[in-house]
Amino acid sequence: MQTLRQQIIRLLQEKALDTLALSQALAVREKEIHDHLPHIAKSVAGRGGRLAMQPAHCEGCGFKFKERRRLSPPSRCPRCKSNRILGPWYRVTGL
Ligand SMILES: [Zn+2]
């Protein structure tokens, strides 16, 4: 039996997914995925890999959240104030 973190890592090794897709694939709440991400980043880094993040963008105006450093998804677009944010997408590489 794999832990939730191991399952997330395994899915992200196969392809880039956002937290919504992860939560649906693993039948847990998105919030839970968010809580695990920093730990996953650490454990992946400790094994010589990397948790890569493909930046989120706004569906309303196309604004890209390039500068964002935090792992958790932004909730609102700073340009058009829309909350229709797509991504970010996460991927585990180098393991
Ligand atoms: Zn926007």
What pLDDT, in 10s, does the model give residues 1-47?
689 999 999 999 999 999 999 999 999 999 999 999 999 999 999 99
* Spacing, Cα 16 to ligand 1 middle (Å): 23
In the reported structure, the alpha carbon of residue 70 is separated from the centroid of ligand 1 by a whole-number distance in angstroms of: 19
Ligand 1 centroid distance, CA of 79 (Å): 5
pTM (two decimals): 0.85
Mean pLDDT of 72-85: 89
Q: C-alpha 76: how far from its chain's center?
A: 16
Residue 68 has pLDDT above 70, yes or no: no
**Domain boundaries along the sequence of the chain:** 4-93
From ligand 1's centre to the CA of 63, what distance in Å?
A: 5
* Cα-to-centroid distance, 18 and ligand 1 (Å): 18
